[in-house]
Amino acid sequence: MDLQLLVTIFPQVLLDGILLGFMYALIALGYTMVYGVLEFINFAHSEIFIVGAFVGVEILLGLKSAGLLEAIPWLPVLLLVLVAGMAASGLLAVSIERIAYRPLRHAPRLIPLISAIGVSFFLQDAIRLFESIWRNAFNLVYPTLDVLNRRYDLTSTIDIPLKSVVVIAAALLMLWALWALVNRTKIGTAIRAVAEDQAAASLMGINVNRIISLTFLIGGAMGGAAGVLFGVQYSLVNPYTGFIPGLKAFTAAVLGGIGNIPGAMVGGLVLGLLEAFAASYLSLLTGGAFGAEYKDIFAFSVLILILIFRPKGLLGEVVRERA
């Protein structure tokens, strides 16, 4: 075992894990917020996420073909793309709830779940159809902004591309904003009240349906932001790209304690780090017996172990009711 190598790559692996973790965390918020208010798994959230990525790539490609991409400074471009992706995904999530879930609110639990799976497949192929007609291709590549690929040396052996700094900063900013909204504002308190008891919340004068829409809007917007950041970081998007990160983000939400917002953040980071370390270290530590392709097996084994000992997740339910 090459100890020297383990130590040398550690910061790079840590950075990869944090990046991936923030991505999962942002996506996981959509699952967990919706679960929190409706006890329902929004299976279509992986496509809400990838729609954000597609809106982003379309705007960037549009700017590029208009020759504007290099003409405008990168920060406004990135902000524009981020805001547009968030708006599109947020509004999409609200519409999905209105059309495909709300009419089924009082149906047996399995029914809206099946509706969500249907929406998920529908969106995948709708994106594919649209892009096939519009661009004659549905595997798209994010146009690179040269500045974003500039690398900064942290030490003599580690450097970090600007885009990773930007992705981490944007994710942190959004997680903080969401935390502040949910915990420090009246509307955020109302979201938590509705999550706990819809009937009691309506007796406070809270319009429960409006709060549910708002929850989809916020969760969807976070997913859309994750989509744009995903595109910026990993470049390739296709209509089916959302599925696996969506599934992993959902797992992250369960790991953190589904319905629990800080839990989604923690769960996302834990899963991202597990995956990154497994990808880089498994092969080194086992002398090549297990390669990077075993990363998911390793990461998910750890998850299963954690859930055996903490079935409600890392941050699940601490308050117990007293009679």
> For binding to other proteins (CB under 8 A), which residues are involved?
186, 189-190, 192-193, 196-197, 199-208, 319-323
Q: Which is nearer to other proteins, 147 or 204 (CB)?
A: 204
Tokens of 305: 């172990």
Tokens of 116: 């969500």
Closest distance between other proteins and the C-beta of residue 209, in Å?
A: 9
Closest distance between other proteins and the C-beta of residue 124, in Å?
A: 36
DSSP state of 71: T
Q: Which is nearer to other proteins, 309 or 320 (CB)?
A: 320
CA distance 250 to 273: 16
Q: Are 126 and 51 in contact (CB under 8 A)?
A: no
Q: Are 60 and 81 in contact (CB under 8 A)?
A: yes
Instruction: State the residue for tokens 């885009």.
Output: 163
Q: Which of 143, 44, 136 is nearest to 89 (CA)?
A: 44
Closest distance between other proteins and the C-beta of residue 213, in Å?
A: 14
Closest distance between other proteins and the C-beta of residue 211, in Å?
A: 10
Question: Measured between alpha carbons, how far is residue 125 from residues 41, 119, 131, 137, 288 in Å?
Answer: 21, 10, 10, 13, 39
Residue 230's contacts (CB-CB under 8 Å, 6 or more residues apart) are 23, 49, 53, 237, 241, 245
Q: Which is nearer to other proteins, 76 or 184 (CB)?
A: 184
Q: Are 27 and 245 in contact (CB under 8 A)?
A: yes
Closest distance between other proteins and the C-beta of residue 321, in Å?
A: 5
Q: Which is nearer to other proteins, 61 or 314 (CB)?
A: 314
**Letter for the amino acid at 78?**
L
Q: Which is nearer to other proteins, 88 or 265 (CB)?
A: 265
Helix (H, G, I), strand (E, B) or coil at 204: coil
Closest distance between other proteins and the C-beta of residue 51, in Å?
A: 32
CA distance 87 to 89: 6
Q: Are 237 and 231 in contact (CB under 8 A)?
A: yes
Q: Which is nearer to other proteins, 66 or 199 (CB)?
A: 199
Q: Which is nearer to other proteins, 26 or 201 (CB)?
A: 201
Q: Which is nearer to other proteins, 233 or 260 (CB)?
A: 260
Closest distance between other proteins and the C-beta of residue 215, in Å?
A: 16
Q: Which of 157, 95, 141, 312 is nearest to 241 (CA)?
A: 141
Closest distance between other proteins and the C-beta of residue 203, in Å?
A: 5
